[in-house]
Amino acid sequence: MTTVIWIAVALLLVGVYLSWTAGRLDRLHARIDAARAALDAQLLRRASIAQELATAGVFDPAASMVLYQAAHAARLAQEEQREVAESELSQALRAVLAETAQVRVLRDAPGGEAMVDELVAAVRRVPMARRFHNDAVRAARAVRRHRTVRWFRLAGHAPFPMAFEMDDEPPTSLTRHATA
């Protein structure tokens, strides 16, 4: 009789552990979803501001066209091309705003001060949002690598979480100006 009780207690403990692990994994997946939504919002905000800058008439036509096309491509990119499109927008921003003089010209334009401040905030928030997303992905991957999670299929049908890798380095003229 005592053997049956011990087996029942052991099964109960295993069940509680598996339930706790499944709940933890579910919370991690929810955290990934929330972090991805925040990242998408920041990327969209950055692309919108870049498009606004490109159509402001402050830059020369070639720079405006490069910036507009990169921002437009980033906004409309399909999921599998999103990282590349966002990296190209980062490169376009660095190319167009390579010199501090460009930022000064932009600030001197009507409404330019607010636009530059919005852009500075956007290019600061994108790396943070990406870091939060990738940290959540890393935590979920660590849990999903455990044998018990794989053996008992505790992840269910949730897709394997993928990190978002892109070039998010801001233009140096913006970062220097923001700290000055």
pLDDT digits (tens, 9 = 90+) for 34-52: 999 999 999 999 999 999 9
The fraction of the chain above a pLDDT of 90, given in percent, is: 81
Note the pLDDT of residue 174: 82
Q: Could you tell me which of 21, 106, 26, 33 has the C-alpha nearest to residue 63?
A: 106
Distance between terminal CA atoms of the chain? 77
Predicted structure pTM score: 0.90
In 10 A of CB 78, how many CB atoms?
A: 7
Structure tokens at 108: 């001197």
Note the pLDDT of residue 99: 85
Largest Cα separation within the chain, whole Å, is 87
pLDDT band at 100 (very low <50, low <70, confident <90, very high): confident
Which ranges constitute the DSSP H helices of 55-154?
Answer: 61-76, 82-96, 100-108, 112-144, 147-151
Tell me how far apart the alpha carbons of residues 144 and 170 are, in angstroms, rounded to a whole number: 33
Note the pLDDT of residue 124: 95
Q: How far is CA 109 from CA 55, 58, 84, 105, in A?
A: 13, 7, 31, 7
pLDDT at 177 over 60: no
Residue 122 DSSP label: H
Mean pLDDT calculated for residue range 20-46: 96
Tell me how far apart the alpha carbons of residues 95 and 111 are, in angstroms, rounded to a whole number: 22
Tell me how far apart the alpha carbons of residues 9 and 22 are, in angstroms, rounded to a whole number: 20
pLDDT band at 175 (very low <50, low <70, confident <90, very high): confident
Cα dihedral 152, 158, 164, 165, rounded to 10, equals: 50
Sequence-separated (6 or more) residues with CB below 8 Å from residue 29: 140, 158, 161
Note the pLDDT of residue 176: 64
pLDDT band at 170 (very low <50, low <70, confident <90, very high): very high
Sequence-separated (6 or more) residues with CB below 8 Å from residue 15: none
Looking at every residue in the chain, the average pLDDT score rounds to 93
Helix axes 112-144, 100-108, angle to 10 degrees: 120
